[in-house]
Amino acid sequence: MNLVAYPDREMLMVALADTIASQLRETLAREGRAVLSVPGGTTPGPVFDILSGVALDWENVSVLLNDERWVPEDSQRSNTRLVRERLLRDRAAAARLVPLYAPAPRPEDRLDELAAGVAAVLPITVLLLGMGADMHTASLFPGADRLAEALAPDAPVLMALRAEAAGEPRITLTAPALRSAMHCHILITGDEKRAALDRAAQLSEAEAPVRIVLNTATIHWAP
Ligand SMILES: O=C(O)[C@H](O)[C@@H](O)[C@H](O)[C@H](O)COP(=O)(O)O
């Protein structure tokens, strides 16, 4: 496991934003476009704040969420809202957001059109993942109704999943879409998640979905 431990969260966020920006910059120089895929939740806000002010050819960057909670965009639980408020502002306002939500009662109602939008920009250049203490990543929750399908090598890029721990229905990139990323980073803080990560290394992908990227990701941790 490739784990980088930082003395504190501020140092982590600054260093991680710098690494992400360099990796995007390098791909932009070579290919003229790049794709950044990011988590929602409570941890990544400070990385977004820093990244949004970085000088980068944002016009040619597509920003994608790894997963979304099926709630309207004005909900406090909306990952799209988080990304719009914390990442897609200042210099990064020029980036293009690839939607993972469209108003409808159920994710299945809009899945095909959202999946087409995602498929059009893959593969991901830089993937930033969060992780829950239950070892879920994106919305690949242990015990989710369609987890086995989402972990399969032939899974479609995007799926709707439901899990008790998730609250609302979710829409999520699947294992093959996440694994397609050129660079992968996992951002975790606190002792509970660090212990969960150590445990994940001993478990199966179904028990600990974060395992799908554990051998390839750089893990960034601070207390
Ligand atoms: O929408 C989501 O819930 C996420 O994308 C999810 O995978 C998140 O990264 C983890 O649940 C960690 O969340 P916290 O940072 O809030 O602990």
**ipTM computed for the complex:** 0.96
Quote the CA–CA distance of 83 and 40 in Å, as a whole number.
8
Atom of ligand 1 nearest to the CA of 166: 3
The model's pTM: 0.98
Q: Domain map of the chain by residue range? A: 2-222
Q: Are 161 and 168 in contact (CB under 8 A)?
A: no
Q: Domain 2-222, CATH 3.40.50.1360 — does that match?
A: yes
| Residue 23 pLDDT grade (very low, low, confident, very high; cuts 50, 70, 90) | very high
Tokens 């994608």, residue located: 64
* CB of 41 closer than 6 angstroms to any ligand 1 atom: yes
Pairing of the two strands 126-129 and 158-161: unpaired
Q: Mean per-residue pLDDT for 183-200?
A: 98
| pLDDT value for 54 | 98
Answer whether 43 contacts ligand 1 (Cβ < 6 A). yes
Which tens digits make up the pLDDT trace of 159-183? 999 999 999 999 999 999 999 999 9
pLDDT in tens, 62-108: 999 999 999 999 999 999 999 999 999 999 999 999 999 999 999 99
Q: Cα dist. 123→36, 63, 179, 184, 186 in Å?
A: 10, 12, 9, 12, 18
Q: Tell me, what's the pLDDT at 173?
A: 98
- The single residue listed with the structure tokens 């409570």 is 42
Minimum CA distance residue for ligand 1 atom 9: 130
Q: Report pLDDT for 67.
A: 98
- Checking phi first, is residue 18 left (phi over 0); if not, alpha (psi -120 to 50) or beta? alpha
Is the C-beta atom of 39 inside 6 A of ligand 1? yes
Ligand 1 atom closest to Cα of 69? 1
Residues 47, 166: Cα–Cα separation, whole Å: 24
Residue 43 CA, closest ligand 1 atom number: 15
